[in-house]
């Protein structure tokens, strides 16, 4: 058998790791959740339990000249974790231990396979909080969050994953493990190699350990402001008004009619099916300040023309509305193929970007639903294709490209948090100059001269 020597070497180097040959690899492990992103057939899947086993697997792959694709939970939406033909998949599902929670220094050290929500629960038991909260937090892993520099609902105030990573351990192309960063809040010795790995989408090495910064957990329920609007652009104007007010809410989320109806038909949460757009804002400021911040948010909603806006006095109801926001993508996806966008524009231009999305949708006769981390300008237009037929998918690709171009034209970016992966490579080339792209490729070559890690993704 052609793969026998490779499999034998993988098993010999990491005898305690689980190694599956190609016929035994479940097809669902060959790709993430990105609609329309191609994927190949892996030669083997390795499921290590610690850094030593990852080192051995990487060393073996380097000897055989076999590419490596690292896979976490597979919740990505850009094709970044998709297998390439002939690769070895390194899955992190068995590297799922919280190694330490240091309450004194407010840090946690974890293996990459720890699920985001599981870390939150462990931290909460110690009165601490890990802020990054992608919509997939119930399933996505810390390693994948670091690899894509994931964001989430709270990032408007608390930042994205990069803002909370203090240190990592990573395995390089020769099988050597290195530690980058550390446990200190500050550290400026040398180039920021840690920063290069955060958001590198598995193209520079395999992350095997992560140390993150934590915060004290608030025991006071946040204040929530809810607003309904009859026009998408009016909701965008409310977002711009919040930005202009100087207020920084803990969350500012947008959900449109398509998403509300999909969630309601799935979960029967009692939401108004006739509402065009829902805006949700949250203040977690200290007592007194939270009420004032909520009043400012409420005035921003009303001045932008909300059809109804109020402060929520029921924390259970407020949490249910935010849960509806989290369910928007899976609710739509269960109805048929959805191509997910992830553009980001300057916050004051959210109304203009929403208007352009509406125009693009009309021009291509393709429904586009909208959810957004509106407070930081990160929009997730969801392109609803009528089916997997070639015509629908082709028109969906035109809409996808047009939305990226619109974001670039407004001084934005083609990806705010999902990553480049496979789907955004052309968009990245349009966003960046040739000189910057050359610099990106030079970093890849310097860190991974053999192009061992995740070839064909990001800048490859």
**In the chain, where the domains are located:** 4-91, 98-216, 220-331
Question: Is-same-fold flag (4-91; 220-331)?
Answer: no
Query: How many other C-beta atoms lie within 10 A of the C-beta of residue 157?
Result: 18
Annotation: CATH topology of 220-331: Alpha-Beta Plaits (3.30.70)
User: Is 1 a residue whose pLDDT tops 60?
Assistant: no
What pLDDT, on the 0 to 100 scale, is given for residue 65?
Answer: 97
> Is 135:324 a contact under the CB 8 Å cutoff?
no
What pLDDT, on the 0 to 100 scale, is given for residue 234?
Answer: 94
Closest CA to 25 of 96, 100, 113, 85: 85
Looking at every residue in the chain, the average pLDDT score rounds to 94
User: Is 288 a residue whose pLDDT tops 70?
Assistant: yes
Reported as a single tens digit per residue, the pLDDT across 304-334 is 999 999 998 788 888 888 888 888 888 998 8
Reported as a single tens digit per residue, the pLDDT across 48-61 is 999 999 999 999 99
What pLDDT, on the 0 to 100 scale, is given for residue 221?
Answer: 85
- CA distances, 8 to each of 3, 20, 388 (Å): 9, 11, 40
Annotation: CATH topology of 4-91: 3.30.43
Pick one of 3.30.465.10, 3.40.50.300, 3.10.20.30, 3.40.440.10 as the CATH number of 98-216.
3.30.465.10
């Amino acid at each position: 058998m052609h793969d026998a020597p490779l499999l034998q070497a993988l098993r010999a180097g990491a005898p305690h790791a689980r190694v599956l040959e190609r016929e035994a690899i479940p097809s669902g492990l060959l790709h993430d959740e990105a609609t329309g992103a191609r994927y190949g057939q892996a030669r083997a899947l390795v499921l290590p339990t610690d850094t030593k086993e990852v080192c051995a697997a990487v060393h073996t792959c380097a000897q055989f000249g076999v590419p490596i694709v690292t896979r976490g939970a597979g919740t990505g939406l850009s094709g970044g974790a998709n297998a390439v033909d002939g690769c070895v998949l390194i899955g992190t599902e068995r590297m799922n231990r919280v190694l330490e929670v240091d309450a004194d220094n407010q840090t946690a050290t974890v293996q990459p396979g720890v699920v985001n929500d599981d870390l939150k629960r462990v931290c909460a038991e110690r009165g601490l909080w890990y802020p990054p909260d992608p919509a997939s937090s119930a399933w996505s892993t810390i390693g994948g969050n670091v690899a894509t520099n994931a964001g989430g609902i709270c990032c408007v105030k608390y930042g994205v994953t990069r803002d909370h990573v203090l240190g990592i351990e990573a395995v390089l192309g020769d099988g050597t493990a290195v530690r980058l960063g550390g446990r200190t809040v500050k550290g400026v010795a040398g180039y920021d190699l840690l920063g290069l790995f955060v958001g590198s989408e598995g193209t520079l090495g395999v992350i095997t350990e992560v140390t993150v910064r934590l915060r004290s957990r608030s025991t006071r329920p946040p204040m929530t402001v809810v607003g309904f609007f009859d026009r998408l652009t009016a909701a965008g104007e409310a977002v711009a008004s919040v930005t202009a007010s100087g207020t920084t809410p803990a969350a500012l989320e947008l959900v449109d009619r398509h998403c509300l109806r999909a969630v309601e038909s799935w979960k029967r949460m009692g939401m108004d099916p006739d509402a065009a757009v829902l805006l949700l804002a949250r203040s977690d400021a200290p007592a007194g300040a939270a009420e004032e911040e909520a009043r400012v948010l409420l005035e921003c909603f009303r001045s932008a023309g909300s059809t109804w806006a109020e402060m929520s006095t029921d924390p259970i109801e407020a949490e249910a509305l935010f849960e509806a926001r989290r369910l928007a993508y899976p609710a739509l996806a269960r109805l048929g193929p959805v191509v997910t966008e992830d553009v980001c524009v300057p916050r004051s231009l959210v109304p203009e970007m929403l208007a352009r999305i509406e125009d693009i949708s009309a021009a291509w006769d393709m429904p586009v639903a909208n959810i957004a981390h509106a407070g930081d300008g990160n929009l997730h237009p969801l392109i609803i294709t009528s089916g997997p037929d070639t015509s629908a998918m082709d028109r969906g690709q035109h809409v996808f490209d047009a939305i990226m171009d619109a974001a670039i034209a407004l001084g934005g970016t083609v990806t705010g948090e999902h990553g480049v992966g496979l789907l955004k490579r052309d968009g990245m080339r349009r966003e960046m100059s040739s000189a910057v792209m050359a610099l990106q490729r030079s970093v890849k070559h310097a860190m991974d001269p053999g192009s061992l890690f995740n070839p064909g993704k990001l800048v490859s």
